[in-house]
Structure 1
């Protein structure tokens, strides 16, 4: 990305942290609802969420990033995103504490992911933007789920 190129993102909060994903990956933002549990899945896999008759594998994004689980609030949302994995696109619902806004960042505003001082693995971070209110962490959703994890989740989202 050049200094003048812009990226539009959907920003969301997990606790005090602010994260962002490219708006091009976001299919929909749903109000939180209970999921249909799937036995024997990873701890962060909450189950399936119905989106107009399609079952979407739904992830507790806090748990996936190594943060503690919190009970849903009226602000809790499910961010339905396309996750590019190998030769497929995995549709996942990410449970987040709150969705904030659509923000536009220029290439020259985005810094590299720090190697230390963050609570989640830095390979999950596509970049960091400094704003007056603090930092916004750009999430690399394709790297959050390993090939093995994607293989576990693909049958779930395909079977739905």
Structure 2
């Protein structure tokens, strides 16, 4: 067992903030295209996108995290992810303002979400890493989408049928 086994993460930005997801959940990175709208979905569900014959729900991660809606630029990308959630694999497209690189982090670099003395919506944070004078927030995707409501669950159920 390697003591300092590093993990690889894909880094991306939402506004000025840098986030990361484990590289093993990233299926591919696509240019942004408008998604097929789904009526009555939560505001962060932009719709469906055909990814190699599979209907993949596209999520505006900025809205899911309580930030302002994404404004499309030439750098906007969609990270297509396969996220293990509650004994199934959930295919999702996350909209990112910009995707940067794959970076290795040592387990010793990853700090827990900060404790600010009160309860706050930090359960989606798997950890933070100090980098280049700032922080990279590692997102716990399973936690972020495990309680995502019936509209997204309906989309996931239709993925399994196809």
SS at 2:123 equivalent = helix
Greater Cα offset, 132-141 or 60-69: 132-141
Q: Determine if contact 2:112/2:128 at 8 Å carries over to the other structure.
A: yes
1:62 is displaced (CA, Å) by 0.3
TM-score by length of 2: 0.89
Q: Which residue of 1 aligns with 2:58?
A: 58
Which contiguous aligned blocks of 4+ residues in structure 1 show a shift greater than 6 angstroms?
Answer: none
Checking the alignment, whether the CA contact within 8 Å between 1:78 and 1:95 is kept in structure 2 is: yes
* 1:43-54 equivalence runs, <5 A: 43-54=43-54
What TM-score results when the alignment is normalised by the length of structure 1? Answer: 0.90
- Taking a change above 3 Å as real, the CA distance of residues 110 and 39 of structure 1, as seen in their structure-2 partners, is same
Q: For residue 121 of structure 2, what is the aligned residue in structure 1?
A: 121
1:152, 1:96 → 2: CA distance?
Answer: 24
User: What is the aligned partner in structure 1 of residue 14 from structure 2?
Assistant: 14
Change (3 A) 1:67 1:159: farther
Q: Note the alpha carbon deviations across 1:69-119, whole angstroms, 9 max, x for none.
A: 1321000000011111111010000011010100000011111111339xx
How far is the alpha carbon of 1:27 from its aligned partner? Answer: 0.3
Q: How many residues align?
A: 157
> After the TM superposition, which residues 133-152 of structure 1 pair with which residues of structure 2 at under 5 Å, given as runs?
133-147=133-147, 149=149, 151-152=153-154
What residue number does 1:154 align with? 156
Inter-partner Cα distance in structure 1 for 2:107 and 2:56: 32
Identify unmatched segments of 5+ residues in structure 2: none
Question: 2:57 & 2:158 partners in 1: Cα distance?
Answer: 7
Which aligned pairs between 1:84-95 and structure 2 lie closer than 5 A? 84-95=84-95
Contact 1:85 1:147 in 2 (8 A): no
Which whole-Å deviations, capped at 9, do the CAs of 1:32-77 have from their partners, x for residues lacking one?
A: 0010001011110000111122211110000000000132100000
